[in-house]
Structure 1
Amino acid sequence: MAAQLPEFPRLVFTVLEPISLLAGFFPAVLLPDWFIGEQLPSAASTTSAAVTANSRVVAQQLGNCYGLAFLVAIAVLYSTNEIRVVRNYLIALWIADIGHMAITYLALGHDRAVHVGAWNPMTWGNIGATMFLFLTRTSYLLGCFGPDRSQLELEKKKNKTK
């Protein structure tokens, strides 16, 4: 259960990350042309191809995946009492973070990827926010935030406040 996570990762994974998933869902589904155009900073675009019906469907399907990720996050983090399930979920996301950043890096190319000052908000989301989540997951999985709280500990705290 998310309540067993140390305070900082609990805030990041149960509040900030779901909000960021919705921030990906809505524009991709509702404003796919804008979403497609913002994937890379304009200086990184080598072609100015028009948005096609195919690319619009791909963007909206990606948005649907963000929506699914939001629902899975809520389901896992708010319904399970098994910290092992939460940890395995976070490991899966850790792996996906690497792929997400690698795909963006490859599309930008090394020079544009390291030129942080030229990033647009979408690039900050694709690399900056994902790197923050990746580092938070890494730190949590390595135990840098301290141990998880046990279910017994949580019950004792709950009984003291009654």
Structure 2
Amino acid sequence: MASSLPTLPRIVFTIIEPISLVAGFLGPLVSPQFFAASQLATTKAAAEAHELTATEHILALQLGNAYLLLGFLGVFILNTTLDLPTVRAYLAALWLGDIGHVLITAWGLGLKGTFNIFGWNAVTWGNIGFTVMLFALRSLYFLGVFDKNGAKKGSKSKQM
């Protein structure tokens, strides 16, 4: 199925996004305390000094595990199915997840932290910047921007 996706979405959704999700898995595995503290745009020193509670430690590892699961789902679904509605449903679920991911991160950062992009750390760039890029690409895919006849297909079906 991946070969039937247009080139840019195929590269992003089947290669770049799964790699980024593996990175999201490895972060809390390598340093759960730094990963947890880095969810808010703090300095590296402040993140390293943060002492995790047992609950925070488990939550960081579980979040990393969820990232790995999403990476596996993407690789398996997009590389095995020939059913376009399944691919679209999968991408729609991720599109909705993108909205929640950005909103929850923005809520945690507050208005000032959300719009202080020069103060963002790498985790915040992933949580907001990269996720917004994925959301935009998924939106463009759904709008048919990558289809050679996307606009024509949409207008014909609306007329019928």
Q: Which runs of 4+ in 1 moved over 3 A?
A: none
- Aligned partner of 2:126 in structure 1 is 125
| Residue of structure 1 equivalent to 2:142 | 141
- Structure 2 counterparts to residues 1-162 of structure 1, below 5 A: 1-42=1-42, 50-146=51-147
Could you state the TM-score of these two structures normalised by the residue count of structure 1?
A: 0.85
Over the aligned positions, Cα root-mean-square deviation in angstroms equals: 1.6
**What is the CA distance between 1:37 and its match in structure 2?**
1.6
Alignment partner of 1:42: what SS?
coil
What secondary structure is seen at the aligned counterpart in 2 of 1:50? Answer: coil
Aligned residues: 145
Asked if the contact 1:6/1:147 (under 8 Å) is kept, the reply is no
Amino acid at match of 1:66: Y
Instruction: Verify the 8 A CA contact 2:33 2:51 in the aligned structure 1.
Output: no
TM-score when normalising by structure 2: 0.86
The answer to whether the Cα contact below 8 Å between 2:33 and 2:52 also exists between their aligned partners in 1 is: yes
Letter of the 2:120 counterpart: W
Deviations for 1:86-145, whole angstroms, at most 9, x for unmatched residues?
A: 111000000000000000000011111011111111100000000000000000011011
CA distance in 1, matches of 2:60, 2:148: 39
* Correspondence for 1:153: none
| Contact 1:29-1:64 within 8 A present in 2 as well | no
**Which structure 1 segments of 5+ residues have no match?**
149-162
CA contact (8 A) 1:24 1:66 kept: yes
Question: 2:29 & 2:90 partners in 1: Cα distance?
Answer: 25
Q: Is the 8 A contact 2:6 2:147 kept in 1?
A: yes
User: Percent sequence identity over matched residues?
Assistant: 43
Distance in 2, matches of 1:78 and 1:31, equals 31
**Larger RCO: 1 or 2 (CA < 8 Å, sep 6+):** 1
